[in-house]
Structure 1
Amino acid sequence: LDLLTPAERDRVLYEWNDSGAAHPAAATLADAVAAQAARTPDTVALVHEGRTLTYAQLDRRANRLARLLRTTGAGPDRLVGVCLDQGLDQAVCLLAVLKSGAAYVPLDPEQPRERLAHMLTDSTPVALVTTSVRRSLLTASDAPVLLLDGIADRLAAVPDTPPADGVGAGPDHLAYVIYTSGSTGTPKGVAVQHRQVLTYLAGVRQRFAEAGLPDGARYVLLQSLAFDFGLTTLYLSLTTGGSLHLLPPRTPGPELAAYLAEQRVDCVKLTPSHLAALSAQVDDPAELLPRRLLVLGGEASGWEWARGLAAAGARSGCRVINHYGPTEATVGATTHLVDPALPAAGPTTPIGRPLPGARVYLLDARRRPVPAGVPGELWIGGDRLARGYLGLPELTAERFRADPFLPAA
């Protein structure tokens, strides 16, 4: 028996998923950043420890490295491992891999050697980019290695224009492979294409703008780019003319508070546990709020705690968004704007409604939609789902299924 009337079924499947469409303006991430560099060449794109790169400088440096990567075999749907500490070189390198047509596998040098070895043997990259200090972490792969601290002369001799036409990637080629935490077994490589990242960026840009975050904003990144949590900040900034400030992940609370105020930072994205730890180090948690938007994500947050942050933000002009989504759905699928005036809907902050371009369903054990108020399992659909798990076709077929609820054309 179907528990839903036709009207209820229409509401939970279609009305609540009517979040609008996301329309990427570029074919690839590299194209999107290059277009932004052409629009704002002299704007500061990256800031790290007093050093800066304008969009024009970022674009030229990435072009040089991309050309060098092409000589190692980098190209569409081929993987390049990147093992670098957070900083300007890391951001340049990720963009260079994309410009070469390849996809990158981020390798956090702070992660255990066993995890890095698994990622290298599983992904079989055609090339690796690291430094002489970190080279010993990558012995599990015999791919050619580019040591950034040893190729300055080679890079200087390479043209700073993009690689030749016809060698780049398209919307359905891979942009990156990010490995899951492995908390439920062996870490799996989630293969994400350019189309999915750009769809996500178009949707989150629209949703964040509705919350008061304009293009050209100032962002702070405190996360490792080995996980997709930081990709919101990195690519949203670089495709909208923003200035991205790269800070060490272990920056203390008082230091972060002073930096946010001094640099007039507009947007910060943090996990609730990270923000709670930082808040314990300052006199007033409101000191850690940016000027316009605080984005919480990566784990559940207590409703009363989040509502307290939103109330503090209301006094200073900062709004709070809860952002949810697994790596398989390309960074995030839903958002919830925390309203401090609303009563608690439960012990945790709601994950909200689908972003433009995403669809969210609550289904029972037979994958049928459940009525409002009835617990179900969350399924995510739309144009943001990853290609699948790298090298695991059976698991991909099991987890990534055709959407039976798509509305008729």
Structure 2
Amino acid sequence: MAQGQMAPGIVAGRLSSDELAANFDDLHPAYAPHEAAVAADRCYFCYDAPCQAACPTDIDIPMFIRQIQTGHPEAAARTIFEQNILGGMCARVCPTETLCEEACVREAAEGKPVEIGRLQRYATDTLMRGGVHPFTRAAPTGKTVAVVGAGPAGLSCAHRLAMLGHDVVIHEAREKAGGLNEFGIAAYKATQNFAAAEVDWLLQIGGIVIETSSALGRTITLEGLRDAYDAVFLSIGLAGVNALRAAGEDKDGVIDAVEFIAALRQADDLSALPVGRNVVVIGGGMTAIDAAVQSKLLGAENVTVAYRRSREEMGASRFEQDLAASKGVKLMFNVQPVAVHGNGSAVEIELEYTSSAGGTLKGTGETIRLAADQVFKAIGQSLAGAPEGLALEGRKIRVEGPGRTSVPGVWAGGDCASGGDDLTVTAVAEGRDAAMDIHAQLSA
């Protein structure tokens, strides 16, 4: 594939800097104190709160909302951070509409849940603005742990281990920490460089060193880490991008959606970021929606998300689907790519209609062509370069219980590990739980 090359229709500067600033403003503006108080007052403070049961990190949601209601947002933040140290980012990016807010009693009774995500952001932002870290380290244990990958799972694991008194070195392949929070989430969901600020805040616990440009299989090995550290936690994500398996996918203008989103997140000037006039995104998950919406916000005239199955089977939530539609993105269902047409550069994409019978997807033979000078691949990722000796489960590292792999002394969590949803909040929970299991074994 011609990564990094641009087709003639892909240009920068389709919109002015002012238009871009407005387009990429905060998706969910922060609450003012009086707004937070009113929102908190809607909570029933259920004894057996279904919202808490729906939270992968098991945050005591009624408790923190009660603390906001009584005028103690910093205490609410501590309640959140005790379970989810990346509660600030999760408040921004969690699909709350399918987790805690979908389970809210108000949602069932009135169709309007308590806005738990925005309340969580209000609390965590209030505490983080104060600059004081809410936790202190336990006495040093003399144990050292290597964490590979500075994404949500790795950061969560590292913080909990450091808090328990262990020394942690995070090996990060990229030049900056944060993982998908830094490189893979739509810019309008985490504005004002929040991901980097959250990492800096988290590191205030002490006892954590981050070594960037340190990649497993390139500069370090699993065997070497096992020899040098008392335990190893792998949170290496999924770096491999699945192929379209369509003729012409090597043409200029066919690009990995994750690379596009990363480039956008790291861009100092969005007006210098090129985008096509006619954009087609292949896929149905969050990455597909984020790429499509941001293409539209950058000034693409026609943006289409093409998904091979039905709307109900789409990985992105209905909220995200509706968000895309509200920005002018067209959603097509039951279509799959057949070929990318053009002389060297993408000009059109040919899609075949599909049908599903008994769970089996089949092409119908009927096709349609769409103008496409830019095609984004967002059809899932796979584990790239799994360390030798680790048992796999499908495309991921097989884990049992709190992240134990088939290799003694090695744990794994986040997107690279089997089980769970590929969500920031799930990764945080897996990192935290693995840290507690590592601590128990190192303390035995």
TM score, norm. by length of structure 1: 0.30
1 or 2 for the larger relative contact order (CA 8 Å, sep ≥6)? 2
Larger radius of gyration: 2
State the TM-score, normalized to the length of structure 2: 0.28
